Structure 1
Amino acid sequence: MEQVVIETEFITLGQFLKEVGVIDTGGMAKWYLSEFTVIVNAESENRRGKKLRSGDIIDLEDGRTFKIAQKD
């Protein structure tokens, strides 16, 4: 499981996908979420604006798993 550290209260799913290198631009988020399965906290998620907070677990279709962590 990889950890993604955020400095703000939350990060959107679209921002997260760009941060981890799954997509190149924020505009690709809508397309990516319509073509691939993304699981957030054991539930399928397709909203690019979904707020991810510290402790959230994200599973991508390519087998990678991420955990959101708040910067201390």
Structure 2
Amino acid sequence: MTGQIEDIPISGDMIRLGQLLKFSGVSDSGAEAGALVAEGDVSVDGEVETRRGRQLSPGALVEIAEPGGVRRLRVVAG
């Protein structure tokens, strides 16, 4: 999915990074989301993020390094 940005609508003012990774289907569990973040495979707005509990607001761009390329998710107001 390199180059494409998936919009992920949220219903509230914010979502935690681990929740976003589960909600978008990037990970199947909180533990898996935590492992991705801990390994440095996730960045938020261009900065590597190591906190699964990082709060994300609409407009945040999350990039996940995957074997097939980088997956990009943008948080949008739902």
Q: Does TM-score exceed 0.5, indicating one fold? A: yes
**AA aligned opposite 2:74:** K
Cα pair 2:42 2:49 within 8 Å, conserved: yes
Sequence identity (%): 34
Verify: 1:12 aligned to 2:19, yes or no: no
**Within 5 Å, which residues of 2 pair with 1:1-72?**
1-62=5-66, 63-71=70-78
SS in structure 1 at match of 2:30: coil
1:36, distance to aligned residue in structure 2 (A): 4.5
Which has the higher mean CA deviation after the structures are superposed, 51-60 or 31-40? 31-40
TM-score (norm 1): 0.88
Q: Name stretches of at least 5 consecutive residues in structure 2 with no aligned partner.
A: none
TM-score (norm 2): 0.82
